[in-house]
A and B are shown apart, each in its own frame.
Chain A
Amino acid sequence: MSRLEGPNQIAELQREILEKRGKFGHEIAVCGGPGCRAIGCEEVFRALRDEFQRAGCGEDVHLKWTGCRGLCAGGTIVVIDPGGIFYQGVTPEDAREIVEETVLRGAVIERLLYVDPTSGEIARAQDEIPFYRGQTRLLLEQIAQLDPSNIEDYVAAGGYAALAKTLDRLQPAEVIEEIRISGLRGRGGGGFPTARKWTACREAASSDGTKYLICNADEGDPGAYMDRSILEGNPHSVIEGMLIGAYAVGANQGYVYVRHEYPLAVQSILTARDQAQARGLLGENILGTGFDFHIKVSRGGGAFVCGESTALIASLEGKIGEPRPKHVHTAVRGLFNKPTVLNNVETWANVPLIISRGGAWFAGIGTESSTGTKVFSLVGNIRNTGLVELPMGTPLRMIIESIGGGVPGGKKLKAVQSGGPSGGCLPADRIDLPVDFDRLAEAGSMMGSGGLIVMDDETCMVDFAKYFVEFLAEESCGKCVVCREGLDRMRDILTAITEGNGTPESIELLEELCEVMKDASLCALGATAPNPVLSTLRYFRDEYDAHVNGGRCPAGVCRALITFHIDAAACTGCGACARECPEGAISGEIGLAHSIDAEMCIQCGICRTTCRFDAVMTD
């Protein structure tokens, strides 16, 4: 692999690769995203490779991995070119048919195509699927096209051209100006204007000239995996973004801080780093311009608080991940007390696009105050679980109904939670809200890193608030009393309410605690921790009241407040529930209605999930 000696050689390399590429008759791309990996795409890949060998068409076929395709509910996804035939739900057993029918005979296997559950329409290619049609896929489409382990794929798609342009034609101040024009705001949660951060770091004095760059890939929000997908699926875009940022602020050392539960992401960024280094795109004298930049990859220790910049920096220094007060910004005094720019994965990945296509182009997408696109992970009680990318300001309704396919199982939408554990819940009647940084904050939630958790009417909002408070209490670093003790007390109170021991005063005390935590916590984790409680109190007060005053859990979730019984009219007497009941609490003769012994029942709910006739009810 030859080293590139000048910025103009990037375009030459791209031409070379594209000429070489034209030769394959077929390209078969297997999705290697998080969802497909979990469902067994590696076996699908192996089966396809074996079948190609068996059929003897190895030369004519290019079988490759790509990053996440987004439609995780349809894993494993395999896309075949020419034609872009989109197969979903592929198993290793389908491999032979795919090779013999589709690749050798050009026939489409209908069984593996996407069928729209509402219209019944069959989609042959990605663009025909409603999930994709409504999106603006700038970052995600690259991921879906590229083999992340191959730098040539990235270069062929125009990768590193933004770096070449930067080093060849732009002054550092011009780079920052382009970012300012783009209006790019941090995708990690805070939404801080990226250009302001970069300017502060550029202007900050450093005694020995050292400045650092950090990529925050410690994606800690449960239910959010967009950063993982970007890092696994297009690591070079992150490296290129960091290179441009380093040039702009004058940094020579960067860190990628990756969550330790993401071993593939670690592998992916390490491979990409080594490839970039071998090509002269990273390291000393980059592209022969005299600019040096090195990247170290650190695995996070697994602490949610390390999403907070000062805690992350402490952890990188080998210390306990505790935040510090930010009287002095990290842009001025950060890692090892040097000026430091910290941005999250998605922010870095946007930088090459902005430099290539211009800040004004980026600013033209989205809303005035929230520009560009945002990647969301759409999860929970939603038909099309997956990663979606949309212009900022897209109404929630479009995301959930048109793209997400709505709530499955004939249930009703109850709420959508955004912003991770310290975000907030929006009720179904706020579904027309445009999703951007400011509108979400106004509604009592936040953008966070872009997790969207959809909940159906079987979700108890008090239990849901308790879930987040428990999570946050567990993850509070314990440095400041307000957050440490406040979360523990909130957990106690919410537990009491869900166990039927709440009083009206409990709710008042909760509200008071929330206010104190907002005002007096040291870092953003503590200050935003009350959001799940405040937003559920704001929109679902009646549900709290039902627990406290009525001793009821309307959603039928809180075990201490529900009793199970069998609706004799609906029960067919099949006996399935009685066989599964771990306590032997269900009796009845086959063919006749069964009943539950309330004394013996432990409210585990197995009978309800087992029953195929919806005969098990709760009070």
Chain B
Amino acid sequence: MATTGHAAHRIIEKHAGARDALIPILQDIQAEEGYLSQEALEAVSEGMSIPLIQVYGVATFFRAFSLEPRGRRVVCACTGTACHVRGASAVLDELERQLGVCAGQTTGDGEYSLETVNCLGACALGPVVVVDGINHGHMTRADVQHLLGGEPESAGADR
């Protein structure tokens, strides 16, 4: 509680309580802590004198926010239209099968979070899977096995 409270208060101060600052404040807290904890939401509500329900409403409405901590490694499959018509759903399906979690979830051991994104603007590489910030292009279902099997360089031709 104490440390999160401090981070939230410091970030609120930085935005000088501007009336349009709720979303940027939550974004900054998430950037620092990886997710929005209950303590953080309470601190924001208190610090900005905004009802907690309103803060919670905003935090759960937008895709950018996560109320759960993410895994040590983040696997993100692009499910944009261009990737979709090139077989992204099969790739996501295989990622879910291999990791044993659905998109939006983290594995029980806290190792992997599986996420999706609506478009990365890298349509020429589609389907794209991003692992810890590194793009893997032209993915197929078969590539997924290699991707998660500890030989990331062999899967997909691209960085």
**Contact partners of A356 in chain B: CB under 8 A:** none
Given contact pairs A38-B128, A302-B63, A320-B58, a sample of 5 additional A-B residue pairs in the complex whose CB atoms are under 8 Å apart: A38-B120, A40-B159, A260-B64, A298-B20, A299-B23
Residues of chain A at the chain B interface (Cβ within 8 Å): 34-35, 37-40, 43, 72-73, 75, 220-225, 228-229, 260-262, 298-304, 315-321, 336, 377, 379-381, 385-386, 417, 421, 451, 453-456, 459, 464, 467-468, 471, 477, 580, 582, 604-606, 609-610
**Contact partners of A604 in chain B: CB under 8 A:** 90, 93-94, 141
Between A and B, how many residue pairs show CB distances below 8 Å? 159
Top 7 closest pairs, chain A to chain B, by CB: A301-B62, A225-B121, A302-B63, A222-B80, A38-B122, A318-B22, A379-B82
**Contact partners of B89 in chain A: CB under 8 A:** 467
- Beyond A35-B121, A35-B124, whether A299 also contacts B85 by CB under 8 A is no
Cα-based distance from A261 to B83 in the complex (angstroms)? 17
Cα-based distance from A301 to B57 in the complex (angstroms)? 12
Once the chains bind, are B121 and A316 in contact (CB under 8 Å)?
Answer: no
Once the chains bind, are B84 and A467 in contact (CB under 8 Å)?
Answer: yes
Q: For chain B, residues 110 to 150, give those with C-beta under 8 angstroms from any C-beta of chain A.
A: 117-126, 128, 135, 137, 140-142, 145
Q: With a 10 A CB-CB cut-off, give which of B19, B27, B63, B117 has the most chain A CB atoms.
A: B63
- Beyond A222-B81, A451-B81, whether A38 also contacts B158 by CB under 8 A is yes
CB distance from B17 to the nearest CB of A (A): 11
Cα-based distance from A439 to B25 in the complex (angstroms)? 44
Cα-based distance from A301 to B24 in the complex (angstroms)? 9
User: Can you list 20 A-B pairs with a CB-CB distance of less than 8 A?
Assistant: A34-B121, A35-B124, A38-B158, A39-B159, A43-B159, A261-B119, A299-B23, A300-B62, A301-B61, A303-B61, A303-B63, A304-B118, A315-B23, A317-B19, A320-B57, A377-B123, A385-B123, A464-B84, A468-B81, A606-B141
CB distance from B64 to the nearest CB of A (A): 4
CB distance from B68 to the nearest CB of A (A): 16
Q: With a 10 A CB-CB cut-off, give which of B20, B97, B123 has the most chain A CB atoms.
A: B123
Once the chains bind, are A303 and B81 in contact (CB under 8 Å)?
Answer: no
CB distance from B114 to the nearest CB of A (A): 16
Once the chains bind, are B119 and A221 in contact (CB under 8 Å)?
Answer: yes
Once the chains bind, are A317 and B65 in contact (CB under 8 Å)?
Answer: no
**Cβ-neighbour of B142 out of A262, A315, A459, A610 (below 8 A):** A610
**Contact partners of A320 in chain B: CB under 8 A:** 57-58, 61
Give the number of residues in B that approach A within 8 Å (Cβ atoms). 48
Cα-based distance from A451 to B118 in the complex (angstroms)? 14
- Beyond A35-B122, A40-B158, whether A302 also contacts B23 by CB under 8 A is no
- Is residue B86 contacting chain A, with contact meaning CB distance below 8 A? yes
Cα-based distance from A304 to B89 in the complex (angstroms)? 20
Once the chains bind, are A319 and B62 in contact (CB under 8 Å)?
Answer: no
Cα-based distance from A40 to B157 in the complex (angstroms)? 11
Who on chain A is nearest to B60 by CB?
A320
**Contact partners of A477 in chain B: CB under 8 A:** 61
Once the chains bind, are B85 and A381 in contact (CB under 8 Å)?
Answer: yes
CB distance from B94 to the nearest CB of A (A): 7
- Is residue B79 contacting chain A, with contact meaning CB distance below 8 A? yes
- Beyond A38-B158, A299-B27, A318-B19, whether A222 also contacts B128 by CB under 8 A is no
Once the chains bind, are A606 and B142 in contact (CB under 8 Å)?
Answer: yes
Cα-based distance from A300 to B142 in the complex (angstroms)? 35
Once the chains bind, are A303 and B125 in contact (CB under 8 Å)?
Answer: no
Once the chains bind, are B85 and A582 in contact (CB under 8 Å)?
Answer: no
Cα-based distance from A380 to B84 in the complex (angstroms)? 8
Cα-based distance from A262 to B122 in the complex (angstroms)? 12
Cα-based distance from A421 to B141 in the complex (angstroms)? 25
Once the chains bind, are B65 and A301 in contact (CB under 8 Å)?
Answer: yes
- Beyond A39-B135, A467-B81, whether A380 also contacts B86 by CB under 8 A is yes
Cα-based distance from A318 to B18 in the complex (angstroms)? 10
**Contact partners of A380 in chain B: CB under 8 A:** 81-82, 85-86, 123
Once the chains bind, are A301 and B58 in contact (CB under 8 Å)?
Answer: yes
Who on chain B is nearest to A305 by CB?
B61
**Contact partners of A317 in chain B: CB under 8 A:** 19-20
Once the chains bind, are A321 and B61 in contact (CB under 8 Å)?
Answer: yes
Cα-based distance from A321 to B61 in the complex (angstroms)? 8
Once the chains bind, are B122 and A222 in contact (CB under 8 Å)?
Answer: no
Cα-based distance from A224 to B63 in the complex (angstroms)? 18
**Contact partners of A610 in chain B: CB under 8 A:** 142
Cα-based distance from A606 to B141 in the complex (angstroms)? 6
Once the chains bind, are B20 and A316 in contact (CB under 8 Å)?
Answer: yes
**Contact partners of B21 in chain A: CB under 8 A:** 318
**Contact partners of B61 in chain A: CB under 8 A:** 301, 303, 320-321, 477
Once the chains bind, are A225 and B85 in contact (CB under 8 Å)?
Answer: no
CB distance from B127 to the nearest CB of A (A): 11
Q: With a 10 A CB-CB cut-off, give which of B65, B97, B121 has the most chain A CB atoms.
A: B121
Who on chain B is nearest to A415 by CB?
B85
- Beyond A319-B58, A604-B90, whether A385 also contacts B124 by CB under 8 A is yes
**Contact partners of A421 in chain B: CB under 8 A:** 81
**Contact partners of A304 in chain B: CB under 8 A:** 118
Cα-based distance from A477 to B67 in the complex (angstroms)? 19
**Contact partners of B79 in chain A: CB under 8 A:** 222
Who on chain A is nearest to B158 by CB?
A39
Who on chain A is nearest to B58 by CB?
A320
Once the chains bind, are B122 and A223 in contact (CB under 8 Å)?
Answer: no
Cα-based distance from A483 to B93 in the complex (angstroms)? 27
CB distance from A415 to the nearest CB of B (A): 10
Cα-based distance from A222 to B140 in the complex (angstroms)? 20
- Beyond A320-B61, A605-B90, A609-B142, whether A72 also contacts B124 by CB under 8 A is yes
CB distance from A513 to the nearest CB of B (A): 22
**Cβ-neighbour of A261 out of B19, B58, B120, B128 (below 8 A):** B120
CB distance from A303 to the nearest CB of B (A): 5
CB distance from A424 to the nearest CB of B (A): 13
**Contact partners of B125 in chain A: CB under 8 A:** 35, 38-39
Who on chain B is nearest to A74 by CB?
B124
CB distance from B113 to the nearest CB of A (A): 16
**Contact partners of A299 in chain B: CB under 8 A:** 23-24, 27, 64
**Cβ-neighbour of B119 out of A223, A303, A381 (below 8 A):** A223
Once the chains bind, are A471 and B58 in contact (CB under 8 Å)?
Answer: no
Once the chains bind, are B64 and A464 in contact (CB under 8 Å)?
Answer: no
Who on chain B is nearest to A265 by CB?
B121
Once the chains bind, are B85 and A455 in contact (CB under 8 Å)?
Answer: yes
Once the chains bind, are A39 and B137 in contact (CB under 8 Å)?
Answer: yes
**Contact partners of B27 in chain A: CB under 8 A:** 260, 299, 301
**Contact partners of B87 in chain A: CB under 8 A:** 609
Cα-based distance from A459 to B89 in the complex (angstroms)? 12
CB distance from B71 to the nearest CB of A (A): 19
**Contact partners of B117 in chain A: CB under 8 A:** 261
Cα-based distance from A379 to B83 in the complex (angstroms)? 9
- Beyond A299-B27, A318-B20, whether A381 also contacts B128 by CB under 8 A is no
**Contact partners of A605 in chain B: CB under 8 A:** 90, 141
CB distance from A214 to the nearest CB of B (A): 12
CB distance from B118 to the nearest CB of A (A): 5
